[in-house]
């Protein structure tokens, strides 16, 4: 279909489907636009005049609102904006977007930016009469003489600011002054992310920093010493010491003083409000000081101390991203012959911050590239992942992190003797290795069948107590405990003789299956622990194996050994013993007498079933079932031993004499069960309840 040229558009104009506008341009023999090119909207209204040279915008341009008023004006230099970029409000309706109507005060009619090299260097606001105003449209205060002309006043924040912005956000050094010109502070920014902040703690602090940057060494030293002499709080000591040490950096005669200052800053302690801009600023200053001290030690020929100091600097960086001390740490590790650790540092740093400066030569090093290629495990299959975490992997994993002088961990009961051949081969081996494994992050500890009795557990408070309580009635034992979570491993072997591991966090409602094997659990725990010493290639293999095995389904075990299948019937146990409800009614999920009949034979072999049914029959009053359980009760399993003692007392006609037994609570549970779930009682108990 042929487009009809609208009124006001010269007949020589051609339609540009790319621009969606009519275009009138002079073109050279190669078809490139030259000179001033004019654009019209589809309705014929003028939209743009733009200068071109060899097909590239170069020179002045003006855009127009539909009513003919200028919407934007400026200059292109070889296709890039340069100089003053001015945007104008329209008195009528417009489709032009350059002037951000919804972000500007109603009395601002013109907004200008100074552009150079693709960056905005400054900005100005004007009212309808052409008078300068601030960013809220209010009167612009007089600029103090010490504030650069390019600084912008932001009334909402109450300060002058000087810095540059590009398409990726704020960049470089940003400086700030109060309305009267008092220096407030500085920020170092890259792509909108703050790298460093110095909010001045007084005139001497500001004078030292600005004089140092301007090259006025004597003034900087005088101001820095004045700041240091009055420093009292942690914040002042950190910043004053850091600034004075920086000023002294070029004075060979002040080396000893500088070292002492850096050590004081590094050991000054935490800011009173850690998670605050002021706290973050202290962390940055301390990290910087420790990094400088590490570099000094490296120059002294002491790479071991440089490693320690660099890691101390890095310990503060979680508040603001990778710190410069990582470069010193790299060189220190190389000098110590720990090249693989050094390469791993580079890889992890660049993964966290692709723009991190200081590792350019390393990345270009063929040795580093070869090392990176050797970490590629993308081709690993599920079968290979099973091998990685399967039979034999437990010994290999333990060997990688074994603690010298360790020994077999002491469990709370002889699980190997009790279960015999029914215990999975991997769990059996775990019992020998657990004591030789290191503690993990957050005080986590590897354990060997650490299953307490009910009295001990119910007397404890906090953490994953409910998960440990559930575990007493499941075919599992505790193999790792930390402040907020606990891990249990299955007694019975799954595929290839492995023990599946289940996790319980204090914020969870129930256990969840996590790892296909104890080896996989150990590997993941160590791989996630930043303090563990692992070869990077090993960490990569393990992480890939975890990913491949995450969603893999396994054959279900028999019902009486199905950990996740048994968990729902423990909700009433948790409610009765702790008062914590898991939902689903007053006493959901309790096993029925029919389930007891189905599990009666298996109960002779499995301690977790004995623990459950002893508690069940005691609470429900099914006393006729207790003598049979007492005949074979495996009292070496702590909860069974404790419950069997109570059962003997009840069978003899006595009352339980344990602190956690609540006769009134038992009566309430029986009453609610009689109303909601009478199948939990045997015939005699139902008759006694009436």
Instruction: Check pLDDT > 60 for residue 409.
Output: no
Two tokens at 317?
A: 């960086």
* Of the candidate ranges 108-117, 150-159, 650-659, the one whose mean pLDDT is the lowest: 650-659
Two tokens at 255?
A: 């080396």
Report pLDDT for 583. 62
Report pLDDT for 463. 75
pLDDT tens digits for range 229-268: 999 999 999 999 999 999 999 888 899 999 999 999 999 9
pLDDT band at 198 (very low <50, low <70, confident <90, very high): confident
Instruction: Tell me which H or E stretch contains 670.
Output: helix 663-676
Instruction: Tell me which H or E stretch contains 24.
Output: strand 21-27
Two tokens at 382?
A: 């599920």
The answer to whether the CB of 632 falls within 8 A of the CB of 418 is no
Distance, CA of 38 to CA of 6 (rounded, Å): 15
Q: How far is CA 154 from the centre of its chain?
A: 33
Q: What is the mean pLDDT of the segment spanning 634-639?
A: 96
Instruction: Check pLDDT > 50 for residue 406.
Output: no
The answer to whether the CB of 85 falls within 8 A of the CB of 69 is no
Residues with Cβ within 8 Å of 253's Cβ and at least 6 positions away in sequence, in order, are none
On average, the pLDDT of the chain sits at 90
Look up tokens 């940055």; give the residue.
284
Name residue 73's beta-bridge partners.
62, 86
pLDDT tens digits for range 330-384: 999 999 999 999 999 999 899 888 888 899 999 999 999 999 988 888 888 888 8
Q: Strands 169-177 and 183-190, how do they pair? A: antiparallel
- Reduced 3-state DSSP string for 26-84: EECCCCCEEEEEEEECCCCCEEEEEEEECCEEEEEEEEECCCCCEEEEEEEECCEEEEE
Structure letter (DSSP) for residue 193 = E
Report pLDDT for 534. 65
Report pLDDT for 439. 64
pLDDT band at 390 (very low <50, low <70, confident <90, very high): confident
Instruction: Check pLDDT > 80 for residue 448.
Output: yes
Query: What predicted TM-score, i.e. pTM, was given to this entire model?
Result: 0.62
Report pLDDT for 405. 47
pLDDT tens digits for range 622-634: 999 999 999 999 9
Nearest to 42 by CA among 70, 72, 17, 71: 17
Phi, psi of 171 (to 5 degrees): -140, 145
The answer to whether the CB of 2 falls within 8 A of the CB of 40 is no
SS3 at position 684 = helix
Residues with Cβ within 8 Å of 340's Cβ and at least 6 positions away in sequence, in order, are 371, 535, 536
Report pLDDT for 74. 98
Q: What is the mean pLDDT of the segment spanning 549-555?
A: 73
Report pLDDT for 587. 59
In the chain, % of residues over pLDDT 70: 95
In the chain, % of residues over pLDDT 90: 67
Instruction: Tell me which H or E stretch contains 122.
Output: strand 119-126
Q: Where are the domains of the chain?
A: 14-196, 213-374, 382-555, 564-689
pLDDT tens digits for range 560-597: 999 999 999 999 999 999 988 866 555 567 899 999 99
Angle between helices 607-620 and 638-651 (to 10 degrees): 30
Look up tokens 């045997």; give the residue.
682
Structure letter (DSSP) for residue 567 = G
Q: What is the mean pLDDT of the segment spanning 614-643?
A: 96
Look up tokens 């563990």; give the residue.
532
Phi, psi of 551 (to 5 degrees): -100, 15
Two tokens at 3?
A: 């487009």
Instruction: Check pLDDT > 70 for residue 457.
Output: yes
Of 2.30.30, 1.10.3470, 1.25.40, 1.10.10, which CATH number belongs to 213-374? 1.25.40
Q: How far is CA 83 from the centre of its chain?
A: 42
Look up tokens 């909700």; give the residue.
571
């Amino acid at each position: 279909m042929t487009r009809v040229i609208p009124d006001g558009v010269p007949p020589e104009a051609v339609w540009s489907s790319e621009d969606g506008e009519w275009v009138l341009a002079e073109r050279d023999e190669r078809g490139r636009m030259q000179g001033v090119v004019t654009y019209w909207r589809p309705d014929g209204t003028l939209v743009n005049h733009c200068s071109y040279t060899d097909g590239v915008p170069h020179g002045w341009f003006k855009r127009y609102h539909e009513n003919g008023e200028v919407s934007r004006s400026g200059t292109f230099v070889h296709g890039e904006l340069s100089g003053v970029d001015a945007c104008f409000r329209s008195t009528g309706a417009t489709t032009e977007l350059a002037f951000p109507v919804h972000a500007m005060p109603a009395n601002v009619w013109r907004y200008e930016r100074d552009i150079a090299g693709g960056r905005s260097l400054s900005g100005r606001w004007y009212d309808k009469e052409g008078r300068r105003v601030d960013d809220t449209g209010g009167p612009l205060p007089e600029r103090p003489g010490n504030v650069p002309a390019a600084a912008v006043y932001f009334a909402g924040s109450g300060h002058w600011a000087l810095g540059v912005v590009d398409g990726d956000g704020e960049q470089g050094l940003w400086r700030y002054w109060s309305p009267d010109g008092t220096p407030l502070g500085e920020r170092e920014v890259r792509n909108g992310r703050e790298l460093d902040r110095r909010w001045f703690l007084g005139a001497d602090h500001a004078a030292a920093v600005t004089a140092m940057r301007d090259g006025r060494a004597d003034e900087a030293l005088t101001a820095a010493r004045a700041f240091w002499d009055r420093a009292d709080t942690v914040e002042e000591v950190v910043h004053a010491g850091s600034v004075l040490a920086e000023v002294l950096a070029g004075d060979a005669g002040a080396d000893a003083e500088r070292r002492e200052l850096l050590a004081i800053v590094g050991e000054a302690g935490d800011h009173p409000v850690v998670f605050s801009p002021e706290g973050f600023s202290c962390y940055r200053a301390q990290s910087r000081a420790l990094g400088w001290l590490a570099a000094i030690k490296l120059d002294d020929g002491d790479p071991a101390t440089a490693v320690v100091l660099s890691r101390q600097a890095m310990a503060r960086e979680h508040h603001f991203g990778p710190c410069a001390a990582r470069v010193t740490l790299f060189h220190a590790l190389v000098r110590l012959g720990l090249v693989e650790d050094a390469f791993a540092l580079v890889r992890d740093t660049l993964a966290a911050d692709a723009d991190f400066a200081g590792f350019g030569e390393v990345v270009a090093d063929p040795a580093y590239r070869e090392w990176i290629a050797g970490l590629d495990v993308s081709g690993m299959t599920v079968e290979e992942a099973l091998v990685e975490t399967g039979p034999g992997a437990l010994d290999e994993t333990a060997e990688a992190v074994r603690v010298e002088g360790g020994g077999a961990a002491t469990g709370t009961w002889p699980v190997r003797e009790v279960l015999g051949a029914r215990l999975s081969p991997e769990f059996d081996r775990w019992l020998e290795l657990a004591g030789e494994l290191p503690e993990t992050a957050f005080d986590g500890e590897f354990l060997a069948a650490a299953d307490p009795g009910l009295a001990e557990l119910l007397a404890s408070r906090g953490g994953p107590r409910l998960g440990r309580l559930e575990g007493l009635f499941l075919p599992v034992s505790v193999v790792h405990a930390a402040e907020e979570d606990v891990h249990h491993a299955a007694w019975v072997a799954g595929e290839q003789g492995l023990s599946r591991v289940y996790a319980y966090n204090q914020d969870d409602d129930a256990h969840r299956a996590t790892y296909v094997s104890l080896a996989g659990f150990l590997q993941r725990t160590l791989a996630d622990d930043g303090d563990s010493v692992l070869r990077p290639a090993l960490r990569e293999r393990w992480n890939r194996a975890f990913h491949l095995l995450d969603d893999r389904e396994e054959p279900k075990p028999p019902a009486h050994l199905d950990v996740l299948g048994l968990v729902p019937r423990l909700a009433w146990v948790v409610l009765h013993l702790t008062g914590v409800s898991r939902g689903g009614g007053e006493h959901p999920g309790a096993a029925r007498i029919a389930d007891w009949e189905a599990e009666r034979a298996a109960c002779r072999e499995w301690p977790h079933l004995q623990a459950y049914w002893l508690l069940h029959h005691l609470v429900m009053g099914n006393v006729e079932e207790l003598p049979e359980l007492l005949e074979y009760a495996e009292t070496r399993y702590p909860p069974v031993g404790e419950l069997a003692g109570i059962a003997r007392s009840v069978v003899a006609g006595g009352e339980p004499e344990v602190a956690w037994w609540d006769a009134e609570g038992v009566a309430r549970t029986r009453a609610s069960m009689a109303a909601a779930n009478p199948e939990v009682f045997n015939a005699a108990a139902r008759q006694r309840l009436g």
